[in-house]
Amino acid sequence: MIGYSFMGAAHSQAWRVAPRFFDLPLAPEMTVVAGRTRSAVEAAAERLGWAEAETDWRRLLERPDVDLVDICTPGSTHAEIALAALAAGKHVLCEKPLANSVAEAEEMAAAAAVAARDGVLAMVGFTYRRVPALSFARQLVAEGRLGTIRHVRAQYLQDWIADEEAPLSWRLDREKAGSGALGDIGAHVVDLAQFITGERITGVSGLLETFVHERPVATEHAGLHGSAGSERGPVTVDDAAVFLARFSGGGIGTFEATRFAWGRKNAIRLEINGSAGSLAFDFEDMNVLHWFDAADEARLAGFRRIVVTEPEHPYAAAWWPPGHGLGYEHGFTHQAVDLVRSLAAGEQPRPSFADGLVVQRVLDAVERSAAADSIWTTVPTDTI
């Protein structure tokens, strides 16, 4: 694994727990973790359960006892590491978004397609696909229970930079993160909307805004938390993104991504209306999926609150008795399980790098649309 902060910790937990709860055809071994600072990476190895620590990720690629490289670093490093790992014949799991630009994502998807011919496989970490309620939502849509998709309403709302004095973390630096709320969290709902509906986004009209242009520079590595000194630096990404979308099946969508929604901590909210019914989900109540069936007798009809913890639901049988819900980390565990099973079977894991490129193209189209301001129509605000 390369990187050991928030995502590195989540992935480490998944590698450790996956074989304890699921029957896996291969046994994951947490061989070595890489990071730049010796003392910090050694402490992380100890804390997260890795056997060894390295300060140069390239050395991981030379080791015959490394089969899979798990990339948990900022987006600016994904392309270089993933391309080198695939060239070295290592399978790759890469955190989202796949890259910081469409050009990088195209190169990565092309390299992954070539590597796959030799059985070297790559996956991108859109983990929320593996929240049981969201996997189940996809099943319901695939079974035709929603009919033709008319509306997708998608939001990803957080509040960790709503405080204007929150430190300037790497996620607010375009060089490192590629974009702001759009790529960091908007990418997840773009992927989920397409995953659940089984459709593609074919066009967008976007609006991006940066509310706070300068923040105190972080005194230590700052992720979602961290402290800052008196020096200030520029925010170079969007703070919020909204966009309209058209879907390949004829439906339309509205998307919103922001880290300025006070009180919303990790609210991934999806509502999908089809010709035969509706689905609704909120990650802040992540074990529940709401389903409305338009075929129900009118006097009894209403949204059904389905607690997605029955053994018949995706992934649930491996865990606790019905009603004893799962949490954020379990999506990562399911990702590890599915990846190991795909590797053992020699099958392409999903989401593939090609799926990551699909998301990257949507993000890029939103940015281009927002920059062009082309279909934005100004409303006169002068008083009469």
For residue 148, the number of C-alpha atoms closer than 13 Å in the C-beta half-sphere is: 7
Give the residue with the Cβ less far from ligand SOE, 158 or 333: 158
Q: Which residue is closest to ligand SOE by CB?
A: 184
In the complex, the smallest distance separating the C-beta of residue 375 from ligand SOE, rounded to whole angstroms, is 28
In the complex, the smallest distance separating the C-beta of residue 44 from ligand SOE, rounded to whole angstroms, is 17
Q: Note whether 158 binds ligand SOE by CB under 6 A.
A: yes
Strands 149-157 and 252-258: parallel
In the complex, the smallest distance separating the C-beta of residue 166 from ligand SOE, rounded to whole angstroms, is 12
Q: Note whether 185 binds ligand SOE by CB under 6 A.
A: yes
Buried b (16+ CB within 10 A) or exposed e, 95-111: bbbbbbbbebbbbbbeb
In the complex, the smallest distance separating the C-beta of residue 114 from ligand SOE, rounded to whole angstroms, is 28
Give the DSSP letter of residue 154.
E
Q: Note whether 179 binds ligand SOE by CB under 6 A.
A: no
Handedness of CA 57, 58, 64, 67 (dihedral sign): positive
Contacts of ligand SOE in 215-254 (CB under 6 A): 224
Contacts of ligand SOE in 37-76 (CB under 6 A): none
In the complex, the smallest distance separating the C-beta of residue 289 from ligand SOE, rounded to whole angstroms, is 19
Residue 61 neighbours by CB distance under 10 Å = 17
Give the residue with the Cβ less far from ligand SOE, 9 or 84: 9
Q: How far is CA 24 from CA 27, 32, 316, 333, 342, in A?
A: 7, 21, 16, 12, 10
Helix boundaries (H) for 154-237: 174-177, 181, 187-197
Q: How far is CA 86 from CA 108, 123, 359, 370, in A?
A: 9, 11, 21, 35
One of 104, 184, 191, 282 touching ligand SOE (CB under 6 A): 184
The residue to which tokens 């490129």 are assigned: 357
Give the residue with the Cβ less far from ligand SOE, 158 or 369: 158
In the complex, the smallest distance separating the C-beta of residue 6 from ligand SOE, rounded to whole angstroms, is 6
List contacts with ligand SOE (CB under 6 A): 6, 158, 184-185, 224
